[in-house]
Structure formats: C-alpha cells, structure tokens
Amino acid sequence: MTGVGLCLSGGGYRAMLFHLGALWRINELGWLPELTRISSVSGGSITAGALAVAWPRLEFTGGVAANFTDEVVRPVRALAGRTLDVPVILRGLVTPGHSTGEALAAAYRKHLFGDLLLPDLPAHGPHFVFTATDLQDGDQWWFYRERQQDPPVQLATAVAASSAFPPFLSPVVLTTPVPGEDRRIELSDAGVFDNLGLDPVIGHCDTVLVSDAGKRMDKLRSVSRNWPGQLLRTLDIMDNQVRALRTSSLIKSYVDGTFAGAYWGSYSDIDNFEVDDALPAPLSRTRALAESPTRLRRTPAVVQERLINWGYAICDAGMRRWVDPKAKPPADFPYPAAGV
C-alpha cells in the first residue's frame, strides 16, 4: 500500500471554498502531483471536480502548478458568486418529469463542468472518486473514471449526486444500465453516509490527508416537544455521532501508525498544531467561518477570500506539523487584505 490520499468533506459552498484554500497550499508545497487519490463529498466534490477538469492544463514546474489560480481558483470563485440551490429547487418543482437533482446537474454543467464525461477524466494524476449515498441499499456509491455505465455518466451528474442535500436537492436518479445492477439507482448527498469520504482512500494509501469543513450540530437551549421536532433533533444527534466516531477513528489511526498524514478542519484551533510561524488565525474569527451556512448560495467576495485563506492557513499548519516539517512557511495569505 503506497500513495497519498486526500479527502475533501462536504459542507456546501463553505466546504468548496475552504478546500480550495487547502489545495492552494498543497500546490505551493509541491504535494499536488504527489496525490494518488482524491475522495470527495458534496461541496468537496465541486472543488475536486474543478481540479479534475483543470488537471490536463496545469503546468507543473518543480511540482508546483504556476497556473493553479487561473485554472482552478478562478472558476470555483465564479461559481461561488452564484446562488444555485433555490433556483434549482424551483426549477425542479415546475418542470414536469424532471427532478431537482437533474436541475442541479444541469446547473453544474452550465457553470463549471460542461459536458465532460467520467471516462474522460485524466488518466494520469490523482484517481478521482466522487462519493454519494445510495438511498435504496443505504451504502456508499462511488463515481470514478473506470466505472462502466452505458451511456457514460457526466461529471456534472456525479457531482450533483454527491451534493444532492436531502430532501430539497435529492435524489439524483441514474437510469443508465449498470453492469450487475438491474435497477435504477437513486442517490443522495454523500454526507448522509460519510461526510469525510474516507472509504475510497483508507486501505489504498499510506498517507492520508483529510480536509474537513463539515458543520457541527447546533447546541439548543431547549428542545421541541412535538414529534416532528424531536425526530429531526434525533436525526441530527445520530448524524453527529457518526461524524464524531469517524473522526476519532481517523485520529487513532494516525496515533497507532496505521497510516501517516494529517487532519485539519474548519473548527480546528491553529494554535493546537504548535507551528510557531503559522499564519494568524484567531479562533473567534475562524469559528465564525466554520459556522457559515451549508448552502449553495452566493457568497460575498470577502467571505470567499476569508474561507479560502482559512483553508490555506490550517492546511499549512497541518502539513508542516505532521507531513512536511521542513517546508518553508508561506509569506502571507492568498488574499492578505481579507485575513480570516
């Protein structure tokens, strides 16, 4: 087992931009071409998809893509300037025979991915895996270049399935015949099953990097006593427990040496990484960014820049503390005027 895996969590545009900052720093450190697998969930799949589209055009010199900003950052930020979720929901409701999942895929095709098919993803470079949740059997569903379906699935459809947040954007239905699967496949947001996207990487890579922009469960002063309210709160608790168990198991694997790597998250305290020359990121400011809504909603430019800066800074701290301690510190944030 060799290779370097990167997991990009879900979390709507918040995660998309946070992971964009992390990839920005990974590129500067020369680790981008070292990645052998990238597993992504929901908002993380948008960023991973943009990287996959741009990969053949990236110009690497000494392991660093000089045109990363033009080819990856710019199109993702352009998407972050658009609201997708509400128009997609309305379009799905008023278009007979079409679901909101199909409308979401159409929006991704129009604004980011075009008609690129999964078999046309780059054969050289990272192995991209876009995860979703199979609502019929309760398991994880993987989209990747080699998975045979006729006709082939578009990247936009794979990312839409991965980010089809229930119940409003879900499901995305695959009607194409799948070898060994004599049924329609009904898919929902990958975060329903695993918001870190660990399974496609664990067991395949001896170094595992995890970027987590998932939102924690809200603390309530009082709990609703009506049945629907209690049911929703119970579901939140169950989801929170699964995420906590996944994260604690990951950290334990680092400690016991099952694999090397680093975990960083939007809720992390940068001081805990004990990197003396880490970028300034006060916990009160970064916690506010971590609490940004889990939406596909237009994000103001300054908030985009702060989320990117935060992903960049905490990735830098994690990489230099646990993976590449000899790496030089960054001169500043990607967007110095914005800070975090």
Confidence of residue 180 (pLDDT cuts 50, 70, 90): confident
pLDDT score recorded for residue 337? 98
- Please say if the pLDDT value at position 184 is more than 80: yes
pLDDT per residue over 46-57, tens digit each? 999 999 999 999
In CATH, what number is assigned to the domain containing residue 207?
3.40.1090.10
- Please say if the pLDDT value at position 1 is more than 60: no
- Please say if the pLDDT value at position 221 is more than 60: yes
What is the average per-residue pLDDT within 170-180? 82
- Please say if the pLDDT value at position 135 is more than 80: yes
pLDDT score recorded for residue 225? 77
pLDDT per residue over 269-284, tens digit each? 999 999 999 999 999 9
What is the average per-residue pLDDT within 120-138? 94
- Please say if the pLDDT value at position 166 is more than 90: no
Work out the mean pLDDT of the chain and round it to a whole number: 92
CA–CA separation, 251 and 138 (whole Å): 25
CA–CA separation, 35 and 168 (whole Å): 34
Higher pLDDT: 315 or 250? It is 315
* Percent of the chain at pLDDT exceeding 90: 76
What is the average per-residue pLDDT within 228-240? 74
pLDDT score recorded for residue 92? 79
- Please say if the pLDDT value at position 97 is more than 70: no
pLDDT per residue over 185-214, tens digit each? 899 999 999 999 999 999 999 999 999 999
Active site residues: 42, 189
Structural domains of the chain, count? 1
Range of the domain at 161: 4-338
pLDDT score recorded for residue 183? 76
What is the average per-residue pLDDT within 287-298? 96
CA–CA separation, 269 and 241 (whole Å): 21
What is the average per-residue pLDDT within 156-175? 92
240-247 long-range CB contacts below 8 Å, 24 or more apart? Answer: 240/216, 242/194, 243/195, 243/196, 243/214, 246/194, 246/195, 246/196, 246/198, 247/196, 247/212
The mean-pLDDT minimum among 130-144, 158-172, 180-194 falls in: 180-194
What is the average per-residue pLDDT within 297-316? 98
pLDDT score recorded for residue 40? 98
Q: How far out from the chain centre does Cα 169 lie?
A: 17
Closest alpha carbon to 32 in 74, 9, 66:
66
- Please say if the pLDDT value at position 95 is more than 80: no
DSSP code, position 109: I
What is the average per-residue pLDDT within 283-294? 96
- Please say if the pLDDT value at position 96 is more than 80: no
